[in-house]
Amino acid sequence: MATPLDGTDVVFADLDGVIYKGADAVPFAVESLVDASARARVAYITNNASRTPESVAEHLRELGLPARADDVVNSPQAAVRLLKTLVPAGATILVIGGEGLTTEVTNNGFVVTDSAEDSPAAVIQGFAPHLGWVHLAEASFALHTGIPWVATNTDWTIPVARGIAPGNGTLVSAVHLAVGRLPVFAGKPEKAIFDYARERFHASDPLVIGDRLDTDILGANRAGMRSALVLTGIDQAKQAIAADETMRPTYILEDLRQLDEEYPEVRLDVDGDVTSATVGDAVVRMKAHVVRIAHPGTSRINLLRAACAVVYNSGLRIYGLDVEPAIYS
Ligand SMILES: [Mg+2]
């Protein structure tokens, strides 16, 4: 049996819900990634466009990870890479965003403007807390001419110290309603940010670790990378069982200690109209749309892995399924 880390040359770890939650480190995450770094390069992929790679790395070092700025892949980097394919080198770009994005645009040889009057060749948009109507209006004026529009990410919300606030997707949406078209997006779950990360780290068999099916795992699947869903953040057992075929992870982990523990084989047996999945000593059976525990076994995570295997194999969607609640509660 192999561990998820076996054969992995680069780990692409998500941050929120994987390494930290607010100000606190996720249990076992830091020590597990430090151990993993002895066997693979550990890098980080984040949609957060308002923090520079250096400030992300500094936060990770405070938590105990040996992170450097060049270990961090963020959505402004992926957005500017996309921008380069759309406009000539050295073009004037209307930047709607913060210092992280402006710096990235400038470092890539473009001229930055904040006014539609300068006839920009494209608009690039990312989150910054100071953005207001004046900035969104400039974007609208420029975009009415039909020039390319690149956005760092689609996140509707952004978690801040006082709660949940509108994120980049919400601000992009305001411009979208004014101009009647959508930008191209670069961040997770788009393939662009994963392709960029693969190229930058010369990764041949990377492993994406994330806590969200609709960003981390969907993006990894689109980019053809193995993925591990870790149940320390947003998505839990219920969401894992319900994942449609675009968002199914290669591995399901309770916490990051399991990154380098043997991943049990999943065995499927078909007997007439009954399919059984066995993982370790857990057995889950599915007949028509009914999913039941045949043997609970001694490990909750293996029970979930077995349930996911039998459901994923069935080709049925969760809406029509009757899943025994003990599997996911
Ligand atoms: Mg996350």
Task: Out of 123, 152, 185, pick the residue that ends a domain.
Answer: 185
Task: Out of 185, 203, 236, pick the residue that ends a domain.
Answer: 185
Residue 61 falls within a domain, yes or no? Answer: no
254 contacts: CB under 8 Å, gap ≥ 6: 230, 231, 232, 300, 301
CA of 25 to the centre of ligand 1 (A): 13
| 140 plus 105 within the same structural domain | yes
| 164 plus 212 within the same structural domain | no
DSSP state of 325: G
CA of 18 to the centre of ligand 1 (A): 6
| 202 plus 253 within the same structural domain | yes
CA of 24 to the centre of ligand 1 (A): 14
Question: d(Cα 107, Cα 124) in Å, to the nearest integer?
Answer: 14
Q: What is the pLDDT of residue 49?
A: 79
| 299 plus 321 within the same structural domain | yes
Question: Angle of helix 75-84 relative to helix 191-200, nearest 10 degrees?
Answer: 90
List the one residue out of 273, 267, 219, 214 whose CA is nearest residue 244: 214
| 154 plus 100 within the same structural domain | yes
Q: What is the pLDDT of residue 159?
A: 72
* DSSP annotation string for 262-320: PPPPEEEEEETTEEEEEETTEEEEEETTEEEEEE--S-HHHHHHHHHHHHHHHT--GGG
| 299 plus 313 within the same structural domain | yes
Catalytic residues: 14, 16
Please report, for the domain that includes residue 15, its CATH number: 3.40.50.1000
Q: What is the pLDDT of residue 155?
A: 87
CA of 85 to the centre of ligand 1 (A): 28
What are phi and psi for residue 88, nearest 5 degrees?
A: -65, 155
List the one residue out of 296, 188, 209 whose CA is nearest residue 251: 209
Write out the residue range of the structural domain in which residue 286 sits. Answer: 266-327
Q: What is the pLDDT along the chain (329 residues), one digit of tens a residue?
A: 799 999 999 999 999 999 998 778 999 999 999 999 999 999 999 998 778 899 899 999 999 999 999 999 999 999 999 999 999 999 999 999 988 899 999 999 999 999 999 999 999 999 999 999 999 999 999 999 999 999 999 988 887 778 888 999 999 999 999 999 999 999 999 999 999 999 999 999 999 999 999 999 999 999 999 999 999 999 999 999 999 999 999 999 999 999 999 999 999 999 999 999 999 999 999 999 999 999 999 999 999 999 999 999 998 776 778 999 999 98
Contact (CB, 8 A) for 324 and 291? yes
Question: d(Cα 246, Cα 221) in Å, to the nearest integer?
Answer: 7
| 246 plus 291 within the same structural domain | no
Q: What is the pLDDT of residue 30?
A: 98
CA of 16 to the centre of ligand 1 (A): 4
List the one residue out of 287, 290, 273 whose CA is nearest residue 327: 290
| 81 plus 150 within the same structural domain | yes
Domain count, the chain: 3
Question: d(Cα 298, Cα 304) in Å, to the nearest integer?
Answer: 12
Q: What is the pLDDT of residue 318?
A: 66
In the chain, count of helices (H) and strands (E)?
Answer: 10, 20
Residue 62 falls within a domain, yes or no? Answer: no
Task: Out of 260, 286, 306, pick the residue that ends a domain.
Answer: 260
CA of 193 to the centre of ligand 1 (A): 15
Q: Rg of the Cα trace of the chain?
A: 22
